[in-house]
Structure 1
């Protein structure tokens, strides 16, 4: 397992990977020893480009190895365009589970790929930003960051 730490504008990000896939981007402190590989280094390069408004999507080797429904939600979530927002209900609909709005919210909360798979772009149906695993202020910062350059 490989780990790199990136001091981003929203706080410290821990990027972990194996030899083939990005495993996670999180703000949860890791006990792993810092040991970079091409995937972690490329992830940091793309995150820097994202924060500098140079890219609007990520091209990284992700692995979705959760339940079939969770994988479907995360894949649909990865397709939500930069600078746009959709509701939890719309994400449930795109995932072919029209009534699974709460389950979709739970999956977003457990998203292993902070920023990369953009759960920050999912808001409540009434337009409120809703919950975020790392706090509503970080979610609002990311939404504002993207709105400035669309």
Structure 2
């Protein structure tokens, strides 16, 4: 496995992967930025940089997240959430065929190993609230605003 640390507007991004695909993308509060990016991670790094620059809405590099069959099913459904859109945990549970599995769905969402690429930040509370986010709610808010189609200029 190869590892690289890159800078992002939200902190240091850790990327882990190999020839089989990217298995982890996570956000850290601190870390040492890589001066050289391993070949296996270069496409991921480039696409994440394009995302943060507002030039990419979809990722197409090979991913290889490790998890249970149920977690994989939840993560695949997360990938289907369109850029700039949100759904609730309840809606996600319904899409997976079991409204009663809402807690299990939320748990799998929280164990997502591929920050941003598997867009768990697009899942919100039924009432529209920003609930639960391993990277901190301020990062979730930033990501949703970054993806918003109705960006407004700040007056201050």
Query: Post-superposition shift, 1:134?
Result: 0.9
Aligned to 2:95: 94
Alignment RMSD:
2.1
Deviations 1:15-35 (A, max 9, x none): 0002221010012578xx987
Q: Name the larger-Rg structure.
A: 2
Aligned to 1:22: 22
| TM-score relative to the length of structure 2 | 0.87
Find the aligned partners of 1:58 and 1:142 in 2 and give their Cα distance. 15
> CA 1:19–1:39 in 2, change beyond 3 Å: closer, same or farther?
same
Runs of 4+ in 1 over 2 A off after TM superposition: 33-39
Aligned to 2:117: 116
For structure 2, the 5+ residue unaligned runs are 152-156
**Count of aligned positions:** 149
For structure 1, the 5+ residue unaligned runs are none
> CA 1:18–1:36 in 2, change beyond 3 Å: closer, same or farther?
same
* Greater alpha carbon shift after TM alignment, 127-136 vs 18-27: 18-27
Deviations 1:49-69 (A, max 9, x none): 111111111112112442221
